[in-house]
Structure 1
Amino acid sequence: MSTALDAAPFEIAGKTRVLGILAHPTDHVKAPPGINRIARERAKDAVMVPFNVPPDGLGSVVNAFRSILTFNGSIVTVPHKQAILAFCDEVTPQARAVGAANVIRREPDGRIVGAQLDGIGFIRGLYHQGIELEGRSVHLSGAGGAASAIAFALGEAKVARLTLNNRSRDKLVAIRAKLQEMFPAVDVAIGTIDPRGHDIVVNGTTLGMRPADPLPIDETGLTADMVVAEVIMEPEITPLLAFAQTVGCKIHLGRHMLDHQLQLMADFLGL
Protein backbone atom coordinates (compact mmCIF):
# COMPACT_ATOMS: atom_id res chain seq x y z
CA MET A 1 0.00 0.00 0.00
CA SER A 2 1.50 3.35 -0.98
CA THR A 3 1.55 6.26 1.45
CA ALA A 4 1.86 10.00 1.15
CA LEU A 5 5.47 9.61 2.20
CA ASP A 6 6.15 7.15 -0.64
CA ALA A 7 4.55 9.52 -3.14
CA ALA A 8 6.38 12.63 -1.91
CA PRO A 9 8.94 13.92 -4.44
CA PHE A 10 12.60 13.86 -3.47
CA GLU A 11 15.28 15.82 -5.24
CA ILE A 12 19.02 15.86 -4.63
CA ALA A 13 20.11 19.47 -4.24
CA GLY A 14 23.16 21.43 -3.19
CA LYS A 15 22.56 20.94 0.53
CA THR A 16 21.80 17.22 0.36
CA ARG A 17 23.94 15.18 2.75
CA VAL A 18 25.63 12.18 1.16
CA LEU A 19 25.86 8.74 2.81
CA GLY A 20 27.47 5.63 1.37
CA ILE A 21 27.79 1.90 1.73
CA LEU A 22 31.30 0.58 1.10
CA ALA A 23 31.32 -2.93 -0.40
CA HIS A 24 32.86 -5.07 -3.13
CA PRO A 25 30.80 -6.03 -5.01
CA THR A 26 27.69 -4.01 -4.22
CA ASP A 27 25.10 -6.23 -5.92
CA HIS A 28 24.03 -7.81 -2.61
CA VAL A 29 23.72 -4.68 -0.45
CA LYS A 30 20.28 -4.03 1.04
CA ALA A 31 20.79 -1.00 3.27
CA PRO A 32 20.36 2.02 0.92
CA PRO A 33 16.58 1.79 0.43
CA GLY A 34 16.08 1.39 4.17
CA ILE A 35 18.33 4.29 5.12
CA ASN A 36 16.78 6.49 2.44
CA ARG A 37 13.33 5.63 3.78
CA ILE A 38 14.43 6.57 7.31
CA ALA A 39 15.88 9.85 6.04
CA ARG A 40 12.54 10.74 4.51
CA GLU A 41 10.63 9.64 7.61
CA ARG A 42 12.86 11.91 9.69
CA ALA A 43 12.54 14.75 7.14
CA LYS A 44 16.29 14.76 6.53
CA ASP A 45 17.78 15.99 3.26
CA ALA A 46 20.13 13.05 2.78
CA VAL A 47 20.70 10.17 0.37
CA MET A 48 22.64 6.89 0.57
CA VAL A 49 24.35 5.42 -2.49
CA PRO A 50 26.50 2.27 -2.95
CA PHE A 51 30.28 2.60 -3.39
CA ASN A 52 31.82 -0.44 -5.08
CA VAL A 53 35.42 -0.20 -3.85
CA PRO A 54 37.99 -2.99 -4.28
CA PRO A 55 40.26 -3.70 -1.31
CA ASP A 56 43.29 -1.95 -2.80
CA GLY A 57 41.31 1.26 -3.21
CA LEU A 58 39.83 1.46 0.28
CA GLY A 59 42.46 3.75 1.79
CA SER A 60 42.33 6.35 -0.95
CA VAL A 61 38.53 6.44 -0.88
CA VAL A 62 38.35 6.89 2.91
CA ASN A 63 40.98 9.63 2.79
CA ALA A 64 38.94 11.38 0.09
CA PHE A 65 35.90 11.28 2.38
CA ARG A 66 37.75 13.56 4.80
CA SER A 67 37.59 16.39 2.28
CA ILE A 68 33.96 15.99 1.19
CA LEU A 69 32.11 18.51 3.33
CA THR A 70 28.66 17.15 2.43
CA PHE A 71 29.61 13.57 3.40
CA ASN A 72 28.15 12.27 6.69
CA GLY A 73 29.52 8.74 6.69
CA SER A 74 29.12 5.24 5.35
CA ILE A 75 28.03 1.74 6.20
CA VAL A 76 30.91 -0.72 5.74
CA THR A 77 30.39 -4.29 4.63
CA VAL A 78 32.18 -7.25 2.99
CA PRO A 79 35.15 -7.26 2.46
CA HIS A 80 36.09 -4.03 4.27
CA LYS A 81 34.90 -4.41 7.87
CA GLN A 82 38.27 -5.29 9.33
CA ALA A 83 40.49 -3.33 6.95
CA ILE A 84 38.55 -0.11 7.59
CA LEU A 85 39.99 0.18 11.12
CA ALA A 86 43.40 1.12 9.73
CA PHE A 87 41.88 4.24 8.17
CA CYS A 88 39.85 5.42 11.20
CA ASP A 89 41.07 8.13 13.56
CA GLU A 90 38.90 6.74 16.36
CA VAL A 91 36.93 3.54 16.94
CA THR A 92 34.33 2.65 19.55
CA PRO A 93 35.24 0.15 22.30
CA GLN A 94 33.10 -2.57 20.72
CA ALA A 95 34.70 -2.08 17.30
CA ARG A 96 38.12 -2.28 18.93
CA ALA A 97 37.24 -5.49 20.79
CA VAL A 98 35.77 -7.10 17.67
CA GLY A 99 38.54 -5.89 15.37
CA ALA A 100 36.07 -4.63 12.78
CA ALA A 101 33.72 -1.74 12.08
CA ASN A 102 30.55 -1.73 10.01
CA VAL A 103 29.88 1.99 9.95
CA ILE A 104 32.04 5.13 9.80
CA ARG A 105 31.14 8.75 10.44
CA ARG A 106 32.91 11.88 9.22
CA GLU A 107 33.28 14.47 11.96
CA PRO A 108 33.09 18.20 11.09
CA ASP A 109 36.89 18.43 11.28
CA GLY A 110 37.33 15.56 8.80
CA ARG A 111 38.19 12.87 11.34
CA ILE A 112 36.77 9.39 10.66
CA VAL A 113 35.13 7.47 13.53
CA GLY A 114 34.34 3.76 13.21
CA ALA A 115 31.70 1.77 15.12
CA GLN A 116 30.42 -1.81 15.21
CA LEU A 117 26.65 -2.39 15.17
CA ASP A 118 26.44 -5.88 13.60
CA GLY A 119 26.22 -7.73 16.89
CA ILE A 120 23.75 -5.36 18.52
CA GLY A 121 21.49 -5.46 15.46
CA PHE A 122 21.62 -9.26 15.30
CA ILE A 123 20.70 -9.65 18.98
CA ARG A 124 17.84 -7.16 18.73
CA GLY A 125 16.53 -9.06 15.72
CA LEU A 126 16.48 -12.33 17.68
CA TYR A 127 14.69 -10.73 20.64
CA HIS A 128 12.12 -9.16 18.32
CA GLN A 129 11.33 -12.63 16.95
CA GLY A 130 10.84 -13.98 20.46
CA ILE A 131 14.17 -15.86 20.64
CA GLU A 132 15.67 -15.68 24.12
CA LEU A 133 19.42 -15.97 24.63
CA GLU A 134 20.25 -15.88 28.33
CA GLY A 135 21.33 -19.29 29.58
CA ARG A 136 21.20 -20.95 26.14
CA SER A 137 23.89 -22.65 24.07
CA VAL A 138 24.92 -21.24 20.68
CA HIS A 139 26.98 -22.69 17.81
CA LEU A 140 28.48 -19.85 15.74
CA SER A 141 30.26 -20.28 12.40
CA GLY A 142 32.65 -17.60 11.20
CA ALA A 143 35.47 -15.39 12.43
CA GLY A 144 35.06 -12.33 10.23
CA GLY A 145 33.69 -8.93 11.20
CA ALA A 146 30.02 -9.89 11.49
CA ALA A 147 30.68 -13.20 13.26
CA SER A 148 33.10 -11.62 15.73
CA ALA A 149 30.62 -8.86 16.53
CA ILE A 150 27.87 -11.41 17.07
CA ALA A 151 30.14 -13.45 19.35
CA PHE A 152 30.75 -10.49 21.65
CA ALA A 153 27.08 -9.49 21.58
CA LEU A 154 26.13 -13.06 22.57
CA GLY A 155 28.50 -12.75 25.52
CA GLU A 156 26.77 -9.53 26.56
CA ALA A 157 23.43 -11.33 26.20
CA LYS A 158 24.59 -13.88 28.81
CA VAL A 159 24.45 -17.08 26.80
CA ALA A 160 25.63 -20.04 28.86
CA ARG A 161 27.76 -21.69 26.19
CA LEU A 162 29.24 -20.48 22.92
CA THR A 163 30.95 -22.82 20.47
CA LEU A 164 33.02 -21.20 17.72
CA ASN A 165 33.62 -22.81 14.34
CA ASN A 166 35.66 -21.51 11.41
CA ARG A 167 37.85 -22.85 8.62
CA SER A 168 40.78 -20.79 9.96
CA ARG A 169 41.37 -21.96 13.53
CA ASP A 170 43.99 -19.30 14.37
CA LYS A 171 41.39 -16.53 14.35
CA LEU A 172 39.19 -18.49 16.75
CA VAL A 173 41.97 -18.76 19.34
CA ALA A 174 42.26 -14.97 19.50
CA ILE A 175 38.48 -14.44 19.60
CA ARG A 176 38.05 -17.06 22.32
CA ALA A 177 40.74 -15.45 24.48
CA LYS A 178 39.06 -12.04 24.26
CA LEU A 179 35.64 -13.52 25.01
CA GLN A 180 36.92 -15.39 28.05
CA GLU A 181 38.52 -12.21 29.36
CA MET A 182 35.40 -10.10 28.88
CA PHE A 183 32.75 -12.73 29.75
CA PRO A 184 34.24 -15.20 32.25
CA ALA A 185 30.80 -16.66 33.04
CA VAL A 186 30.34 -17.88 29.44
CA ASP A 187 31.70 -21.31 28.50
CA VAL A 188 33.53 -20.54 25.24
CA ALA A 189 34.87 -23.45 23.18
CA ILE A 190 36.42 -23.98 19.77
CA GLY A 191 34.35 -26.63 18.04
CA THR A 192 33.78 -28.27 14.68
CA ILE A 193 31.16 -27.98 11.95
CA ASP A 194 28.93 -30.33 13.96
CA PRO A 195 26.21 -28.25 15.73
CA ARG A 196 24.80 -31.09 17.84
CA GLY A 197 23.89 -30.24 21.41
CA HIS A 198 23.14 -26.53 20.86
CA ASP A 199 19.94 -24.54 21.10
CA ILE A 200 20.78 -21.97 18.45
CA VAL A 201 22.92 -22.35 15.31
CA VAL A 202 24.21 -19.17 13.65
CA ASN A 203 25.88 -18.81 10.27
CA GLY A 204 28.10 -15.73 10.52
CA THR A 205 29.98 -16.51 7.29
CA THR A 206 29.34 -15.57 3.66
CA LEU A 207 28.80 -19.24 2.74
CA GLY A 208 25.39 -19.37 1.12
CA MET A 209 25.59 -16.19 -0.93
CA ARG A 210 26.61 -18.19 -4.03
CA PRO A 211 24.80 -21.32 -5.28
CA ALA A 212 27.99 -23.42 -5.32
CA ASP A 213 28.94 -22.61 -1.71
CA PRO A 214 29.21 -25.53 0.71
CA LEU A 215 27.10 -25.40 3.85
CA PRO A 216 28.91 -23.78 6.82
CA ILE A 217 27.98 -26.67 9.15
CA ASP A 218 27.30 -30.40 9.10
CA GLU A 219 23.60 -30.33 8.34
CA THR A 220 23.09 -33.83 9.68
CA GLY A 221 23.59 -32.40 13.17
CA LEU A 222 20.46 -30.23 13.00
CA THR A 223 17.41 -31.23 15.02
CA ALA A 224 13.87 -29.86 15.07
CA ASP A 225 14.29 -28.19 18.48
CA MET A 226 17.02 -25.84 17.20
CA VAL A 227 16.83 -22.27 15.95
CA VAL A 228 18.94 -21.74 12.81
CA ALA A 229 19.88 -18.12 12.09
CA GLU A 230 21.58 -16.39 9.17
CA VAL A 231 23.41 -13.12 8.60
CA ILE A 232 23.14 -13.46 4.81
CA MET A 233 20.37 -11.33 3.31
CA GLU A 234 20.57 -12.38 -0.34
CA PRO A 235 19.26 -14.95 -0.98
CA GLU A 236 16.75 -14.61 1.83
CA ILE A 237 16.37 -18.38 2.15
CA THR A 238 19.91 -19.70 1.96
CA PRO A 239 20.66 -23.40 1.38
CA LEU A 240 21.25 -23.72 5.14
CA LEU A 241 17.87 -22.23 6.01
CA ALA A 242 16.16 -24.33 3.34
CA PHE A 243 17.62 -27.50 4.80
CA ALA A 244 16.78 -26.41 8.36
CA GLN A 245 13.15 -25.99 7.32
CA THR A 246 13.04 -29.58 6.09
CA VAL A 247 14.24 -30.73 9.51
CA GLY A 248 11.59 -28.66 11.29
CA CYS A 249 13.90 -26.04 12.80
CA LYS A 250 12.73 -22.51 13.48
CA ILE A 251 14.63 -20.26 11.08
CA HIS A 252 15.77 -16.66 11.53
CA LEU A 253 16.42 -14.56 8.41
CA GLY A 254 19.46 -12.39 7.82
CA ARG A 255 17.28 -9.37 7.07
CA HIS A 256 16.18 -9.19 10.70
CA MET A 257 19.70 -8.09 11.64
CA LEU A 258 19.63 -5.35 9.02
CA ASP A 259 16.14 -4.19 10.00
CA HIS A 260 17.28 -3.54 13.54
CA GLN A 261 20.63 -2.07 12.56
CA LEU A 262 19.18 0.53 10.25
CA GLN A 263 17.79 2.76 13.00
CA LEU A 264 21.05 2.45 14.94
CA MET A 265 23.05 3.29 11.84
CA ALA A 266 20.84 6.24 10.98
CA ASP A 267 21.40 7.64 14.47
CA PHE A 268 25.17 7.17 14.21
CA LEU A 269 25.25 8.81 10.78
CA GLY A 270 23.45 11.88 12.06
CA LEU A 271 20.05 11.43 10.44
Structure 2
Amino acid sequence: MTSHPISGYTRVYAHFAYPSEHVRTPGVFNAYFRRRGIDAVCIPVKVAPAGLAAAVAMCRSWENLAGIGVTMPHKETIAGLLDERTEGVRRAGASNVIKRLPDGRLLGGQLDGYGFVHGLKTNGFDPAGSRALLLGAGGSARAVAMELALNGIAALRIANRSRDRAEALAADVRREFPELAVSVADASTVQDATLIVNTTSVGMKPDDPLPVDLSGLTPQVTVADIIMKPEVTPLLEAARERGCAIHPGLQMLVGQLDVTAEWLDLAPAREAVGDMAVAR
Protein backbone atom coordinates (compact mmCIF):
# COMPACT_ATOMS: atom_id res chain seq x y z
CA MET A 1 0.00 0.00 0.00
CA THR A 2 1.39 3.37 -1.08
CA SER A 3 1.06 6.33 1.26
CA HIS A 4 2.12 9.97 1.27
CA PRO A 5 3.00 12.10 4.27
CA ILE A 6 0.85 15.21 4.55
CA SER A 7 2.79 18.16 3.17
CA GLY A 8 2.27 21.56 1.63
CA TYR A 9 1.42 19.79 -1.64
CA THR A 10 -1.35 17.67 -0.16
CA ARG A 11 -4.85 18.38 -1.48
CA VAL A 12 -7.66 18.52 1.07
CA TYR A 13 -11.13 17.01 0.73
CA ALA A 14 -13.27 18.49 3.51
CA HIS A 15 -16.32 16.56 4.69
CA PHE A 16 -19.13 18.75 6.06
CA ALA A 17 -21.47 17.09 8.56
CA TYR A 18 -23.41 17.89 11.72
CA PRO A 19 -22.74 16.07 13.90
CA SER A 20 -19.54 14.61 12.48
CA GLU A 21 -18.73 11.93 15.05
CA HIS A 22 -20.73 9.19 13.29
CA VAL A 23 -19.40 9.69 9.76
CA ARG A 24 -17.30 7.00 8.05
CA THR A 25 -16.50 8.95 4.89
CA PRO A 26 -13.09 10.37 5.99
CA GLY A 27 -11.76 6.96 6.98
CA VAL A 28 -13.00 5.32 3.78
CA PHE A 29 -11.62 8.07 1.54
CA ASN A 30 -8.24 8.20 3.32
CA ALA A 31 -7.83 4.44 2.91
CA TYR A 32 -8.76 4.86 -0.76
CA PHE A 33 -6.24 7.71 -1.25
CA ARG A 34 -3.48 5.57 0.30
CA ARG A 35 -4.39 2.58 -1.84
CA ARG A 36 -4.35 4.66 -5.03
CA GLY A 37 -1.22 6.64 -4.08
CA ILE A 38 -3.13 9.94 -4.20
CA ASP A 39 -1.57 12.84 -2.28
CA ALA A 40 -4.81 13.96 -0.64
CA VAL A 41 -6.46 13.81 2.77
CA CYS A 42 -10.11 13.79 3.77
CA ILE A 43 -10.95 15.58 7.02
CA PRO A 44 -14.24 15.77 8.93
CA VAL A 45 -15.56 19.31 9.38
CA LYS A 46 -18.29 19.72 11.99
CA VAL A 47 -20.46 22.55 10.68
CA ALA A 48 -23.73 23.49 12.36
CA PRO A 49 -26.54 24.64 10.04
CA ALA A 50 -26.19 28.21 11.29
CA GLY A 51 -22.54 28.28 10.22
CA LEU A 52 -22.92 26.62 6.84
CA ALA A 53 -22.97 29.77 4.71
CA ALA A 54 -19.81 31.12 6.38
CA ALA A 55 -18.03 27.77 5.99
CA VAL A 56 -18.90 27.63 2.29
CA ALA A 57 -17.68 31.21 1.77
CA MET A 58 -14.37 30.39 3.47
CA CYS A 59 -13.78 27.50 1.07
CA ARG A 60 -13.55 29.84 -1.91
CA SER A 61 -10.19 31.13 -0.67
CA TRP A 62 -8.82 27.73 0.45
CA GLU A 63 -6.40 27.15 -2.45
CA ASN A 64 -5.29 23.59 -1.67
CA LEU A 65 -8.89 22.50 -1.20
CA ALA A 66 -9.90 19.95 -3.82
CA GLY A 67 -13.51 19.98 -2.76
CA ILE A 68 -16.15 19.30 -0.14
CA GLY A 69 -18.09 16.16 0.64
CA VAL A 70 -21.50 16.83 2.15
CA THR A 71 -23.75 14.75 4.37
CA MET A 72 -26.81 15.33 6.55
CA PRO A 73 -28.24 17.78 7.25
CA HIS A 74 -26.63 20.02 4.62
CA LYS A 75 -27.19 18.43 1.20
CA GLU A 76 -30.22 20.46 0.21
CA THR A 77 -29.26 23.77 1.83
CA ILE A 78 -25.72 23.80 0.43
CA ALA A 79 -27.01 23.45 -3.14
CA GLY A 80 -28.33 27.01 -2.91
CA LEU A 81 -24.99 28.43 -1.69
CA LEU A 82 -22.87 27.38 -4.66
CA ASP A 83 -21.72 29.22 -7.76
CA GLU A 84 -22.56 26.48 -10.27
CA ARG A 85 -24.39 23.17 -10.16
CA THR A 86 -24.36 20.04 -12.28
CA GLU A 87 -27.42 18.63 -13.98
CA GLY A 88 -27.63 16.04 -11.20
CA VAL A 89 -27.87 18.76 -8.55
CA ARG A 90 -30.51 20.60 -10.55
CA ARG A 91 -32.54 17.43 -10.85
CA ALA A 92 -32.21 16.31 -7.22
CA GLY A 93 -32.15 19.73 -5.53
CA ALA A 94 -29.24 18.56 -3.38
CA SER A 95 -25.44 18.32 -3.60
CA ASN A 96 -23.14 15.81 -1.91
CA VAL A 97 -19.80 16.58 -3.60
CA ILE A 98 -18.45 20.04 -4.42
CA LYS A 99 -15.46 20.87 -6.58
CA ARG A 100 -13.40 23.99 -5.90
CA LEU A 101 -12.44 25.45 -9.26
CA PRO A 102 -9.05 27.19 -9.77
CA ASP A 103 -10.66 30.64 -9.54
CA GLY A 104 -12.33 29.79 -6.22
CA ARG A 105 -15.82 29.19 -7.55
CA LEU A 106 -17.64 26.18 -6.13
CA LEU A 107 -19.29 23.66 -8.47
CA GLY A 108 -21.83 21.38 -6.85
CA GLY A 109 -22.19 17.78 -7.98
CA GLN A 110 -24.44 14.89 -7.03
CA LEU A 111 -23.10 11.33 -6.81
CA ASP A 112 -25.22 9.76 -4.07
CA GLY A 113 -27.69 8.28 -6.52
CA TYR A 114 -24.95 7.09 -8.85
CA GLY A 115 -23.07 5.47 -5.97
CA PHE A 116 -26.19 3.77 -4.66
CA VAL A 117 -27.24 2.26 -7.98
CA HIS A 118 -23.64 1.39 -8.93
CA GLY A 119 -23.37 -0.49 -5.64
CA LEU A 120 -26.62 -2.36 -6.29
CA LYS A 121 -25.47 -3.43 -9.75
CA THR A 122 -22.00 -4.40 -8.53
CA ASN A 123 -23.65 -6.70 -6.00
CA GLY A 124 -25.86 -8.36 -8.58
CA PHE A 125 -29.11 -6.39 -8.37
CA ASP A 126 -30.31 -4.37 -11.36
CA PRO A 127 -33.14 -2.03 -10.24
CA ALA A 128 -34.69 -1.92 -13.73
CA GLY A 129 -38.32 -3.00 -13.51
CA SER A 130 -38.43 -2.79 -9.71
CA ARG A 131 -41.33 -1.43 -7.71
CA ALA A 132 -39.41 0.75 -5.26
CA LEU A 133 -40.49 1.94 -1.84
CA LEU A 134 -38.37 4.93 -0.81
CA LEU A 135 -38.32 5.81 2.89
CA GLY A 136 -37.46 9.50 3.34
CA ALA A 137 -37.59 12.64 1.22
CA GLY A 138 -34.38 14.51 2.12
CA GLY A 139 -31.28 15.21 0.06
CA SER A 140 -30.13 11.60 -0.23
CA ALA A 141 -33.65 10.41 -0.97
CA ARG A 142 -33.96 12.91 -3.80
CA ALA A 143 -30.71 11.73 -5.38
CA VAL A 144 -31.61 8.04 -5.03
CA ALA A 145 -35.11 8.61 -6.42
CA MET A 146 -33.81 10.36 -9.53
CA GLU A 147 -31.13 7.75 -10.19
CA LEU A 148 -33.55 4.85 -9.75
CA ALA A 149 -35.86 6.56 -12.24
CA LEU A 150 -32.96 6.98 -14.67
CA ASN A 151 -32.27 3.26 -14.33
CA GLY A 152 -35.73 2.13 -15.34
CA ILE A 153 -37.69 1.27 -12.21
CA ALA A 154 -41.35 0.44 -12.91
CA ALA A 155 -42.87 2.38 -10.01
CA LEU A 156 -41.81 4.59 -7.10
CA ARG A 157 -43.68 4.99 -3.82
CA ILE A 158 -42.40 7.58 -1.33
CA ALA A 159 -43.05 7.45 2.42
CA ASN A 160 -41.90 10.25 4.70
CA ARG A 161 -42.76 11.56 8.15
CA SER A 162 -43.67 14.90 6.56
CA ARG A 163 -46.15 14.19 3.76
CA ASP A 164 -45.55 17.66 2.28
CA ARG A 165 -41.90 16.83 1.60
CA ALA A 166 -42.87 13.48 0.11
CA GLU A 167 -45.39 15.20 -2.17
CA ALA A 168 -42.77 17.76 -3.23
CA LEU A 169 -40.29 15.01 -4.13
CA ALA A 170 -42.97 13.06 -5.96
CA ALA A 171 -43.85 16.16 -8.00
CA ASP A 172 -40.19 16.71 -8.91
CA VAL A 173 -39.74 13.09 -10.01
CA ARG A 174 -42.92 13.25 -12.12
CA ARG A 175 -41.65 16.43 -13.78
CA GLU A 176 -38.35 14.79 -14.75
CA PHE A 177 -39.83 11.35 -15.55
CA PRO A 178 -43.46 11.83 -16.58
CA GLU A 179 -43.85 8.19 -17.70
CA LEU A 180 -42.93 6.78 -14.26
CA ALA A 181 -45.70 5.77 -11.85
CA VAL A 182 -45.00 7.83 -8.70
CA SER A 183 -47.13 7.86 -5.56
CA VAL A 184 -46.94 8.96 -1.93
CA ALA A 185 -47.61 6.40 0.78
CA ASP A 186 -49.95 7.30 3.62
CA ALA A 187 -48.21 4.71 5.78
CA SER A 188 -44.85 2.98 5.59
CA THR A 189 -45.91 -0.53 4.62
CA VAL A 190 -44.11 -2.81 2.21
CA GLN A 191 -47.23 -3.57 0.09
CA ASP A 192 -46.07 -4.78 -3.34
CA ALA A 193 -42.52 -3.35 -3.25
CA THR A 194 -39.68 -5.40 -4.71
CA LEU A 195 -37.02 -2.91 -3.61
CA ILE A 196 -37.09 -1.03 -0.28
CA VAL A 197 -34.60 1.80 0.34
CA ASN A 198 -34.25 3.54 3.69
CA THR A 199 -32.73 7.02 3.29
CA THR A 200 -33.76 8.28 6.73
CA SER A 201 -31.57 8.39 9.84
CA VAL A 202 -33.83 5.86 11.60
CA GLY A 203 -31.58 2.97 12.55
CA MET A 204 -28.49 4.93 13.57
CA LYS A 205 -29.39 4.57 17.25
CA PRO A 206 -29.73 1.13 18.85
CA ASP A 207 -33.19 1.90 20.25
CA ASP A 208 -34.64 3.26 16.99
CA PRO A 209 -37.80 1.56 15.74
CA LEU A 210 -37.87 0.02 12.28
CA PRO A 211 -38.56 2.69 9.64
CA VAL A 212 -41.19 0.49 7.94
CA ASP A 213 -43.68 -2.19 8.94
CA LEU A 214 -42.21 -5.42 7.58
CA SER A 215 -45.45 -7.37 7.78
CA GLY A 216 -45.89 -9.18 4.50
CA LEU A 217 -42.23 -8.94 3.54
CA THR A 218 -41.19 -11.85 1.31
CA PRO A 219 -37.71 -13.17 0.46
CA GLN A 220 -38.13 -11.83 -3.09
CA VAL A 221 -37.68 -8.24 -1.86
CA THR A 222 -34.27 -6.54 -1.79
CA VAL A 223 -33.84 -4.23 1.21
CA ALA A 224 -31.26 -1.42 1.20
CA ASP A 225 -30.21 1.16 3.78
CA ILE A 226 -27.94 4.16 3.23
CA ILE A 227 -26.92 4.35 6.91
CA MET A 228 -23.23 3.47 7.21
CA LYS A 229 -22.94 3.09 10.97
CA PRO A 230 -23.99 0.54 12.07
CA GLU A 231 -23.15 -1.27 8.85
CA VAL A 232 -26.02 -3.73 9.36
CA THR A 233 -28.93 -1.70 10.68
CA PRO A 234 -31.91 -3.21 12.53
CA LEU A 235 -33.87 -2.91 9.27
CA LEU A 236 -31.28 -4.92 7.35
CA GLU A 237 -30.99 -7.50 10.12
CA ALA A 238 -34.77 -7.97 10.23
CA ALA A 239 -34.89 -8.28 6.44
CA ARG A 240 -32.05 -10.80 6.42
CA GLU A 241 -33.87 -12.90 9.02
CA ARG A 242 -36.83 -13.01 6.63
CA GLY A 243 -34.64 -14.31 3.81
CA CYS A 244 -34.26 -11.06 1.87
CA ALA A 245 -31.16 -9.89 0.04
CA ILE A 246 -29.79 -6.85 1.87
CA HIS A 247 -27.65 -3.94 0.72
CA PRO A 248 -25.69 -1.99 3.39
CA GLY A 249 -25.21 1.77 3.18
CA LEU A 250 -21.43 1.62 2.94
CA GLN A 251 -21.84 0.39 -0.63
CA MET A 252 -23.26 3.77 -1.68
CA LEU A 253 -20.01 5.45 -0.59
CA VAL A 254 -17.75 2.77 -2.09
CA GLY A 255 -19.60 3.17 -5.38
CA GLN A 256 -18.61 6.86 -5.48
CA LEU A 257 -14.89 6.63 -4.69
CA ASP A 258 -13.43 6.48 -8.18
CA VAL A 259 -15.76 9.00 -9.80
CA THR A 260 -15.38 11.45 -6.91
CA ALA A 261 -11.57 11.36 -7.09
CA GLU A 262 -11.67 11.75 -10.85
CA TRP A 263 -14.20 14.60 -10.79
CA LEU A 264 -12.12 16.46 -8.19
CA ASP A 265 -9.03 16.08 -10.42
CA LEU A 266 -7.33 13.88 -7.85
CA ALA A 267 -7.05 10.97 -10.29
CA PRO A 268 -7.26 10.58 -14.09
CA ALA A 269 -10.83 10.34 -15.35
CA ARG A 270 -11.83 6.91 -16.64
CA GLU A 271 -15.58 7.24 -17.10
CA ALA A 272 -18.17 9.95 -17.60
CA VAL A 273 -21.20 10.26 -15.33
CA GLY A 274 -24.00 11.66 -17.43
CA ASP A 275 -25.58 14.11 -15.00
CA MET A 276 -22.28 15.66 -13.85
CA ALA A 277 -22.39 18.15 -16.73
CA VAL A 278 -22.88 21.75 -15.58
CA ALA A 279 -26.55 22.75 -15.55
CA ARG A 280 -27.34 25.75 -17.75
Provide the residue aligned with 1:99 in structure 2: 93
Structure 1 runs not aligned, ≥5 long: none
8 A Cα contact 1:24 1:79, kept in partner: yes
Provide the residue aligned with 1:173 in structure 2: 167
Q: 1:135-154 counterparts in 2 under 5 A?
A: 135-154=129-148
- 1:106-151 CA-to-partner distances (Å, cap 9, x unmatched) read 1111101111110010001111111121112111100001111100
Distance 2:37 2:240 in 1: 41
SS of the aligned residue for 1:220 comes to coil
TM-score, scaled relative to structure 2: 0.91
Provide the residue aligned with 2:51 in structure 1: 57
The code of the aligned residue for 2:142 comes to S
Q: 1:154-233 counterparts in 2 under 5 A?
A: 154-191=148-185, 192-233=187-228
Provide the residue aligned with 2:244 in structure 1: 249
Deviation of 1:47 (Å): 1.1
Distance 1:268 1:214 in 2: 38
Provide the residue aligned with 2:113 in structure 1: 119
Distance 1:211 1:249 in 2: 21
Distance 1:35 1:210 in 2: 24
8 A Cα contact 2:4 2:37, kept in partner: no
8 A Cα contact 1:75 1:104, kept in partner: yes
Distance 2:142 2:3 in 1: 41
8 A Cα contact 1:140 1:147, kept in partner: yes
Distance 1:9 1:127 in 2: 30
Query: RMSD of the TM alignment (CA)?
Result: 1.3
Deviation of 1:185 (Å): 2.3
Provide the residue aligned with 2:68 in structure 1: 74
TM-score, scaled relative to structure 1: 0.94
- 1:71-128 CA-to-partner distances (Å, cap 9, x unmatched) read 1111100111111112200111111221110011111111011111100100011111
In structure 2, the CA distance between the partners of 1:107 and 1:197, relative to structure 1 (3 Å rule), is: same
Deviation of 1:49 (Å): 0.8
SS of the aligned residue for 1:105 comes to strand
Distance 1:95 1:57 in 2: 22
1:240 aligns with 2:235: yes
Distance 1:225 1:10 in 2: 46
The code of the aligned residue for 2:244 comes to C
Distance 1:38 1:211 in 2: 29
The code of the aligned residue for 1:168 comes to S
Distance 2:80 2:156 in 1: 29
Distance 1:174 1:98 in 2: 11
- 1:12-51 CA-to-partner distances (Å, cap 9, x unmatched) read 1112111111001112212223322333344332111110
Distance 2:252 2:195 in 1: 15
Runs of 4+ more than 6 Å apart: none
SS of the aligned residue for 2:164 comes to helix
The code of the aligned residue for 1:194 comes to T
Aligned partner of 2:37 among 35, 38, 43: 43
Distance 1:219 1:81 in 2: 29
Distance 2:73 2:59 in 1: 19
The code of the aligned residue for 1:270 comes to D
Name the count of aligned residue pairs. 265
Deviation of 1:202 (Å): 0.9
- 1:185-207 CA-to-partner distances (Å, cap 9, x unmatched) read 21111112011211111111111
8 A Cα contact 1:74 1:269, kept in partner: no
Aligned partner of 1:30 among 5, 24, 36: 24
SS of the aligned residue for 2:132 comes to strand
